[in-house]
Structure 1
């Protein structure tokens, strides 16, 4: 059967139409309007990655355009700031013995529908791994504490990063982020060695090398993954001790930060929350750092630092009352706010839509998906900062 394109270009010969008429139709169809290059560029910038990957084969000029750094960065900016979350995805991992299966679903679907069915996602790793974080469409995966994979699932490219083996004991903290100043992606690894020495290392994708980071404040920290806000990695302190030349004190619950640009440590004071038993976790709401205080597994306060680095800007914006027991869900929460003001909250394997208007919670159902051990948001992008690296794999 003829295609629409074939018919419109006069390739398909209709036996019911005379040859003269068919020739006239073909000639008129061949005179197609030519769009200005600026308009073509604007249209392409708003298309999904999957379509753009196909369109690279249209012509050499389209291949050059879609592969250019300016196009990739502009496409990323438009996709990341799309208020309908058209290009945002939630990646989920299903734990199995000695391996993980990855699934993905549309954030827009989670905000709009009550039942969502995740789709399978091909993963370059066969071993069991952990999702560190995502930034600019790149997801950092970790196997053990020595192997990391910087992966763009939208274009199916990844790079393996190997760290020096370390005999670790107890505490281990990791982070992945983007240094906008240097246009560099970095991985932070902190491990307590068997000799009780806290070893801090930083990997730079641009130099493709690891190096030791000094001046880390002594003391016990929360084991886990850092949150990236304002170009800095953050995690909660779980001990009180002196820090700095003037005897500055890091209190229980204060937030330790690491600036990926100048590679300096800092601290942010916690909000003045109520004095009850709680478990506080860091999160990101929009582009702001937030703190999630879970009280007695029944309700939680959500605080947002509206002006980064200013303690007085902490504001409690939600108090969420749970109708289900969440005591067994101890992961840091994921937040996403819709245009209508509703908040998508991913907490362990609970998927909830919280409405501040009437203080209600709607629990979402993920078809054929029972347990999300790791979950993270990412935006589909063409970002590929290691294009010329021969060790990059597909």
Structure 2
């Protein structure tokens, strides 16, 4: 008697089941057969899987180690809040080259490095997916002469050349954005390269204006890449001379390929002592700054581009920190992530080598955990482990 044939699941049901699974098991299942490999890396399946991924559950942390090498750690927010020190260590990646992250979008991480030789600054860029461990080839290198642009070494390049990375869902394209400052003409120029394009495109020019020196990378929110800037002519500034009405967010629209300005929170009535920081928290723009050297303040905009949607998430005195045995320095406190119910905000105090768990509901510090003093300058990026390929499929 012939054995009964094994039941075969319909293709539609296989797709439905697999599309709800995390990336890690899918990377194992790709070895089941050629058909499953083709399915898992098919563009339509990658999109479906991305749509079904839970949002705001992961972050990617970057930090420098004692060798001055930038390290990258993708991690779940829940695990990070449970034990940040071990989470950072366990998931750590580092590269010999491309040691600066200037953008994270849909699971893709944009890596950057530069070198200066014979009067030219050369930028090297790659895209990496930490979940699949797939790395793109080099982008066409961007080579600029220092006589044309204000680039004389790596530090100056970061001051005058700004980078961003994001996704344009209208054209279904990932885009790298570079904002250049031309010294002779005193103009800013925006160049863009889409994933898969053979070269960089010059999109637009505009009069020169200062983008804050500490704002190295643009923040991707709602089809735009954003940098803190000053609404004043020229290219340079002294922070002590800045007026509050000059401080804005320069916003480049990836769909329309135009730019505009987003206003600061209405409650920000005076210029912070040091330059504020712009980031992304739970998919929303986040602004953090010192206030009068007495308080640390964090703002969140719930609806991008709407001034009234800015919400003051945190306003805590440094004395409150000190009372809990942690003497932070106003320059070095960074918001990293927020719990799912938005009760707890995790802060990194880089100067004190401490993670601070701040209870937003009860307005108190829950606990403090030290991190390795050889790690410093923590930054956080919204992240989702995905199947998205770092090259045009």
Residues 324-339 of structure 1 correspond to what in structure 2 (within 5 A)?
A: 324-327=326-329, 329-330=331-332, 333-339=335-341
Change (3 A) 1:288 1:122: closer
Distance 2:251 2:79 in 1: 34
Distance 1:143 1:45 in 2: 35
Query: Counterpart of 2:134?
Result: 157
Query: Counterpart of 1:373?
Result: 377
How big is the shift at 1:275?
Answer: 3.0
25, 39, 56: which one pairs with 1:65?
Answer: 39
Deviations 1:134-160 (CA, angstroms, capped at 9, x unpaired): 101110111126111111122122222
Query: Counterpart of 1:275?
Result: 270
Query: Counterpart of 1:357?
Result: 361
Residues 245-394 of structure 1 correspond to what in structure 2 (within 5 A)?
A: 251-272=245-266, 273-275=268-270, 277-278=272-273, 279-322=275-318, 323=321, 324-327=326-329, 329-330=331-332, 333-339=335-341, 341-346=343-348, 348=350, 350-362=354-366, 365=369, 370-377=374-381, 378-386=383-391
Residues 194-273 of structure 1 correspond to what in structure 2 (within 5 A)?
A: 195=184, 197=186, 198-223=188-213, 224-238=216-230, 240-241=232-233, 251-272=245-266, 273=268
Deviations 1:51-95 (CA, angstroms, capped at 9, x unpaired): 2111011123322321222221222222242x6x2xx24333333
SS in 2 for 1:375: strand
Structure of greater Rg = 1
Distance 1:119 1:366 in 2: 16
Distance 2:200 2:244 in 1: 28
Distance 1:359 1:204 in 2: 44
Distance 2:334 2:247 in 1: 15
Change (3 A) 1:36 1:154: same
How big is the shift at 1:210?
Answer: 0.7
Change (3 A) 1:387 1:261: closer
Query: Counterpart of 1:172?
Result: 161
The two structures have a TM-score, normalised by structure 2, of 0.76
Would you identify which runs of 4 or more consecutive aligned residues in structure 1 move more than 6 Å? 30-33
Matched residue pairs, number? Answer: 349
Change (3 A) 1:98 1:109: closer
Query: Counterpart of 1:119?
Result: 90
How big is the shift at 1:129?
Answer: 1.9
Answer yes or no: is the 8 Å Cα contact 1:140–1:176 preserved in 2. yes
* Structure 1 segments unaligned to the other structure (5+ residues): 1-26, 243-248, 389-394
Are 1:138 and 2:93 matched, yes or no?
no
The two structures have a TM-score, normalised by structure 1, of 0.76
* Structure 2 segments unaligned to the other structure (5+ residues): 115-121, 235-242
